Amino acid sequence: MEAHVFKTIELTGTSTKSVEEAVQSAITVAAKTVRNMSWFQIAETRGAIHDGKVTEWQVTLKIGFKIEP
């Protein structure tokens, strides 16, 4: 059985609309240069407030990708 080795990177995605969009933003940009992405884990969620309203979501992700042999 072949063993796999994974590396993790940490990214922060942002969105003015939702946590989900912030996650997708980070993954979409990373996919341009990172191959073999397999999973993500939300490490932290933050947001910005202006005049008593949420104006931005900031989501820090750990993304795992398989190292090519």
Q: Which CATH number fits domain 6-66: 3.40.50.300, 3.40.50.2000, 3.30.1660.10, 3.40.50.80?
A: 3.30.1660.10
- Asked if 37 contacts 65 with a C-beta cutoff of 8 angstroms, the reply is yes
Bridge partners (DSSP) of residue 44 are 60
Q: How confident is the model at residue 13, as a pLDDT?
A: 97
**Average pLDDT by stretches of 10, the chain with 69 residues:** 87 97 97 95 97 97 92
| Residue 2: predicted pLDDT | 75
Structural domain spans, the chain:
6-66
- Which among 46, 40, 16 is positioned nearest to 28, based on CA atoms? 40
